[in-house]
Amino acid sequence: MTDNQREWHLTSPDHFTCGTIGEPGSRVFFLQARSADTRVDVKCEKQQAMALADHLLRLLGDLPDPAGGPDRTSVIPTPPDDPGPLEFVVGSISIGVDRKRDRVVAMLEELVVDPDDPAVLQVSPAKLIVHLTREQVWGLANQVDLLVAASRPRCRLCEMPMDPLGHVCPRLN
């Protein structure tokens, strides 16, 4: 983390994954990165976690395959540690490639709520930048798949998520 702004740059993270807090239907999703003694937890939306995993996998698919090594199906999902304080809410996500190190780079930037507010413009958005191995991308994608599969069941008539206490199906009205 730099002194003047909240920015974490993890070039060789030990850990990058997704987790949730709470029960399906009212879960809070978070992304978690760790490198040595630095750990950063950031809040994200379920759709952001799904899109990040999907885009990272597609990016890997566009890169030349390394000789040998595991594939996605052999990588175990990476569960998170218990979350600490969530440093910021993710707004934008950018991805790129570090070809020299054969890493995929993800930059998660803090959501700026009101760009017209002068107080907001004086502070740079927080950033988390992680350089991920192929195995870390596959572990993240597999973990996101598990979390999404644990979502609320869908109504067979309207495909809307059903709450444990019931569901008012618009197709039955």
Contacts 24+ apart (CB under 8 A), 145-154: 145/53, 145/77, 146/77, 147/18, 147/19, 147/20, 147/29, 147/46, 147/49, 148/46, 148/50, 150/24, 151/24, 151/46, 152/24, 152/25
The CA dihedral of 63, 147, 30, 92, to the nearest 10 degrees, is 50
User: pTM for the complete prediction?
Assistant: 0.82
Sequence letter at residue 85: P
Domains of the chain in start order, with CATH, are 7-172 (3.30.2450)
Q: What is the pLDDT along the chain (173 residues), one digit of tens a residue?
A: 544 469 999 999 999 999 999 987 789 999 999 999 899 999 999 999 999 999 999 998 888 777 666 666 777 888 899 999 999 999 999 999 998 998 999 999 999 877 666 665 567 899 999 999 999 999 999 999 999 888 777 788 887 777 777 778 888 77
